[in-house]
């Protein structure tokens, strides 16, 4: 029976995917298959592009037509504007047995030679081990939508402003759906919160809890994304992202500020996977 295998399975089909990115287009994506993949061909590859960096996301789009028995594809289109390089590529493989494999998503933040790529992989492995065994609770990551159709319930058609912060359709983000499906098994090492309670002339007494968080760089987190504590269901908005560790200017670990959402926030109505 044919099956679909995601990029983070125990025996992945792809050894490595590389991206040589040019912002004006003609980005080159190349890949190397795992030496233990011995299924018969033909091998049909489809390059895909997305913004969230998760194989569970719903925003992956095909780039060009499928190619057969090759090791690279050129993406001729300009895809990034502004200053945020949140673009990711992945490769879909269909084998002669009818099985489908997906590579792990790869960002466009920089390219490493094999030696430095192995160093980054080792830093990530040790950081993930530290998260799981020593310091960090498990959780879910909600990545905010930053493009797509505007919310039809709360976005003003003349000004494009969000008119309801508790909109059940976009959760105050302004785009339909609000957030992509939750990404499981995202660990966060966070410090004890620093609380500040004061009187706000607009809302009365206000308490701010600011926590320092630490994440592995894949998937990429950004401002206004939400991390959910798996055991307590506490939800934190991410702000002030900074690079904690990098290899040749390629981010490996991020640090950020995390502000706990009040329990009355509509973000708590989003259900997490069981």
Query: What does the pLDDT look like over 93-114, one tens digit per residue?
Result: 999 998 999 998 888 877 777 7
- β 88-94/67-68 pair status: unpaired
Categorize the per-residue pLDDT at 92 as very low, low, confident or very high, splitting at 50, 70 and 90: very high
Distance CA 141, CA 224 (A): 11
Question: What is the average pLDDT across 201-222?
Answer: 74
Residue 63 is predicted with a pLDDT of 92
Categorize the per-residue pLDDT at 9 as very low, low, confident or very high, splitting at 50, 70 and 90: very low
Q: Is the pLDDT of residue 218 over 70?
A: yes
**Of residues 178, 187, 177, the one with CA closest to residue 144:** 178
Does residue 63 contact residue 74 with C-beta atoms inside 8 Å? no
Question: Full-prediction pTM beyond 0.85?
Answer: no
Give me the residue label for tokens 């002339």: 201
Residue 7 is predicted with a pLDDT of 45
Domains of the chain: 4-107 (2.60.40.10), 114-144+179-269 (no CATH)
Query: What does the pLDDT look like over 25-83, one tens digit per residue?
Result: 788 888 988 888 888 889 999 999 988 888 888 889 999 999 998 888 988 888 877 77
**Of residues 81, 87, 82, 83, the one with CA closest to residue 63:** 87
Helix boundaries (H) for the chain = 114-130
Q: Is the pLDDT of residue 190 over 80?
A: no
């Amino acid at each position: 029976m044919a099956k679909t295998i995601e990029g983070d399975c125990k025996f992945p089909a792809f050894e490595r995917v590389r991206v040589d990115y040019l912002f004006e287009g003609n980005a080159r994506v190349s890949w190397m298959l795992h030496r233990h993949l011995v299924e018969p061909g033909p091998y049909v590859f489809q390059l895909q592009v997305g913004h969230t960096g998760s194989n569970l996301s719903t925003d992956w789009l095909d780039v060009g037509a499928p190619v057969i028995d090759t090791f690279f594809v050129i993406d001729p289109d300009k895809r990034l504007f502004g200053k945020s390089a949140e673009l990711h590529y992945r490769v879909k493989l269909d084998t002669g047995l009818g099985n489908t494999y997906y590579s792990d998503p790869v960002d466009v933040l920089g390219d490493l030679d094999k030696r430095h790529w192995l160093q980054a992989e080792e830093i990530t492995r040790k950081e993930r081990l530290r998260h799981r065994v020593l310091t960090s609770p498990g959780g879910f990551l909600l990545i905010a939508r930053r493009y797509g159709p505007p919310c039809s319930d709360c976005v003003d058609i003349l000004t494009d402003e969000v008119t309801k912060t508790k909109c059940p359709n976009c959760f105050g983000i302004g785009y339909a759906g609000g957030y992509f499906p939750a990404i499981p098994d995202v660990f966060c090492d966070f410090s004890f919160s620093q609380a500040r309670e004061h009187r706000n002339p607009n809302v009365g007494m206000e308490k701010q809890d600011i926590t320092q968080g630490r994440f592995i760089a894949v998937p990429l987190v950004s401002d206004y994304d939400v991390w959910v504590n798996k055991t307590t269901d506490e939800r934190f908005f991410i702000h002030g992202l900074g690079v904690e560790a990098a290899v040749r200017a390629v981010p490996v670990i991020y640090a950020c500020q995390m502000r706990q959402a009040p329990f009355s926030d509509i973000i708590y109505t989003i259900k997490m996977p069981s």
